[in-house]
Every structure is written in structure tokens, then in C-alpha cells.
Amino acid sequence: MEASTLAASLPLLLRLAIGHMLVVFFLQPLVWFERIKKQELTSSKLYLLALAYGLVSWLAVYDLRLWHVALVLGCFHFAITAARLWLNEKHPVRDFIVDQAIHGSILVGVWLLLTHTWPYLIPSLSTYWNRNDLLVLIIATIAVLAPAGALIRLFTKRWADQIVAPVVQGTTSSTPANALTELQEAGRYIGWLERLLVLTFVLLKQYEAIGLLIAAKSILRFQDSERKQSEYVVIGTLASFTVAILVGLLTRRLIDFF
């Protein structure tokens, strides 16, 4: 009963999400936001965007009598944007994720209040949270991120030391002090993304896509003139893919078992 009630009310939430994405990512020109950051609360574009957000939300609600809901959503959008200006976006990626998470939470809250389905939400989520296949999938996703990265870092440490030491010795005063750290951070995120892709391909049984991914990365990396560095990258890549494939195969077996 809970699942069917929530499913019947989902079109409203989907329309609100479509309206949000249209305003934030399409109707809002990039140059507008740059002007808003310069002029802050004195910018007329900030108020126009809040008005546009409210009007599009009103259309999404699909009930002209609920104009006050659109007004509330427009005010929330104004407040969130103003807060981003006040924080000055010191961490752009984090601020963007927090911004969208707050917007999403507000839209979900409005959806639950308008459809009176909030009493069914917790029981429905509890049903999914107790599913073994979903829990296994969550564990596998987490495992191919930081835990797999830590294992691969330990496995490739002796080769990494052979590359990092000469680079550090050859570092000049004109080289940024955190250059190596930034490169390591980039490598970590590349590893996370590639293992997530490999895990997804294994779960979908798209093994050909894994081969294409390995080939593409090998071609790009072997353009490097440093042979030791290229070999180190290949070792790390193969280790990363091996771990992701093994986790994917084990996850599929466990999901089939449950």
C-alpha cells in the first residue's frame, strides 16, 4: 500500500525536479550568476531568478490555487543563492553539492506535504533498507572507492617511491609546493571513477565496455615519455581494474544468492 501510494504521487515530485533543473541549469545564464556574484544582493538578476523559479514551480505543481507553494519555493531559492554569495564559494564543488541537496530536500518536503504521503515514506524506505541485495550493492560501491584505493596504494608503494623521490629531488623553487599532492589527489579521483565504471559494467554484464575502457586509458597513459611512470600507471590501472572486477563478480553472485 505504501509503495503504490508513493508511486501514484511521484509525478508531482518529478515535475518539480524538472522545473528546478530547467531554471538552475538552462534558464539561468552563466553570465547572470557571474554578475550576481559581483553585485550580490543589489543585483536585479538575483530577484529575477527567484521569480522565474517560483513561476516554473507553480507550473510544475499544476494547480493555480497553490500559488503560495510557488512563492515559498521562490523565496527558498533566493535564500539559498544569497547564502552561496555570503559563503563566497570557497569550496565550489562542495558548495554546489550542498546547494543541490538543500534544494532537493525542500522539493521532497513540498511533495510530501502536498500529497500527504509523508506517513508512508518511512515504512517504504524501511522496506528497501532491509533488502539484502541493496545492502550488498551499497557495500560493493563503498568497497571500490576508498578501501580499494588504500589496498592499491599499498600494493604499488614501492614503484611509487621510485618515481616520487627523483621528482622531489628535482623540484625547483618555481614548482608549486603542493603540485605532487594535487596530482595524487587527481589520481585518487580517477581511480574512484574508473572502479565505479568497471563495477557498473560487471553488474550489467557489459564486459566489452571494460576492454574499451582499459584500451582508452592505456593509449592515453603510454604517451608519457617517462617509461617508469608509464609502467607504474599501468600496474596501478590493472590492479584497480582487477579489484573492481572481483568485487563486481562477488556482488553479482551474492545478489543472485539473495
Q: Which of 100, 124, 148 is the last residue of a domain?
A: 124
> Does 108 share its domain with 165?
no
Q: Which domain holds residue 106?
A: 2-124
> Does 248 share its domain with 136?
yes
> Does 80 share its domain with 189?
no
> Does 144 share its domain with 237?
yes
pLDDT at residue 119, rounded to an integer: 81
Kindly tell me the burial class for residue 34, based on how many C-beta atoms sit within 10 Å of its own C-beta (0-12, 13-18, 19 or more). Answer: exposed
Q: Which of 72, 103, 124 is the last residue of a domain?
A: 124
171 against 69, higher pLDDT:
69
pLDDT beyond 90 at 195: yes
User: Cell digits for 154?
Assistant: 599499498
**Mean pLDDT over residues 211-226, rounded?**
70
pLDDT at residue 170, rounded to an integer: 52
**Mean pLDDT over residues 39-68, rounded?**
87
> Does 142 share its domain with 113?
no
> Does 147 share its domain with 214?
yes
> Does 117 share its domain with 141?
no
If you average pLDDT over every residue of the chain, what do you get? 83
pLDDT at residue 177, rounded to an integer: 44
pLDDT at residue 83, rounded to an integer: 85
pLDDT at residue 175, rounded to an integer: 44
> Does 91 share its domain with 145?
no
At residue 103, φ and ψ (nearest 5 deg) are -55, -45
Q: How confident is the model at residue 147 (pLDDT cuts 50, 70, 90)?
A: very high
What percentage of the chain reaches a pLDDT higher than 90? 42
> Does 118 share its domain with 138?
no
What percentage of the chain reaches a pLDDT higher than 70? 82
Q: Which of 46-50, 58-62, 71-75, 161-165 has the highest mean pLDDT?
A: 71-75
> Does 93 share its domain with 183?
no
Q: Which of 95, 124, 153 is the last residue of a domain?
A: 124
Cβ distance 41 to 85 under 8 Å?
yes
> Does 207 share its domain with 96?
no
* CA–CA dist 94, 98 (Å, integer): 6
| pLDDT per residue as tens digits for the range 74-132 | 999 999 988 887 776 677 788 889 999 999 999 999 999 998 888 877 777 778 788 89
Number of domains into which the chain is organized: 2
**Mean pLDDT over residues 213-220, rounded?**
76
> Does 114 share its domain with 146?
no
pLDDT at residue 231, rounded to an integer: 74
Kindly tell me the burial class for residue 74, based on how many C-beta atoms sit within 10 Å of its own C-beta (0-12, 13-18, 19 or more). Answer: buried
Which range, of 18-22, 61-65, 182-186, averages the lowest pLDDT?
A: 182-186
Rg (CA), the chain: 24
pLDDT beyond 70 at 228: no
pLDDT beyond 80 at 141: yes
**Mean pLDDT over residues 54-69, rounded?**
90
174 against 215, higher pLDDT:
215
Q: How confident is the model at residue 216 (pLDDT cuts 50, 70, 90)?
A: confident
